[in-house]
Amino acid sequence: MDKVYVQGMRFYGYHGAFHQENELGQRFYADIILEMDAEKPGRTDDLDDTVNYAKVYEAAKEVLEGEPVKLVETLTSRIAKLVLQRFAVIEAVTVKVTKPDPPIPGHYDSVAVEIRRERGFENQ
């Protein structure tokens, strides 16, 4: 399977297990790997035969700037499901959501969750 990378997307959301995270908000980063057959778009050079990266960004934005949730796992799962629902050409998706400077004891640059989901997950 061929892969398309959409990396370094940045958002501001109100997710987290602590009250102050829901009040103040924080940055979230997203990286998405789309697995698909890129033979046809490579041959036709037609955007209709592939995935519009701007629309992938919009799907991630909808989740990360949307309804607050407690867990980064929930965010990654929702993005994966939305991508598979919206883009029939995608066979599998890997989503990584990074939460920089988490408000937990100790010194951390970030925490991140990465998941991979295949076609069929969007119907669950």
The answer on pLDDT for 51 being more than 80 is yes
For position 106, what pLDDT does the model report? 82
Q: What is the pLDDT of residues 63-115, one digit of tens each?
A: 999 999 999 999 999 999 999 999 999 999 999 999 998 887 887 899 999 99
Per-residue buried b or exposed e for 51-69, using 16+ beta carbons within 10 Å of the residue's own CB: beeeebeebbbebbeeeeb
In terms of residue numbers, what domain contains 119?
2-123
Identify whether 55 is a catalytic site residue.
no
* CATH classification of the domain holding 46: 3.30.1130.10
Q: How many domains does the chain have?
A: 1
Q: Where are the alpha helices (DSSP H) in the chain?
A: 19-24, 39-44, 53-64, 72-86
For position 63, what pLDDT does the model report? 98
Phi, psi of 110 (to 5 degrees): -170, 165
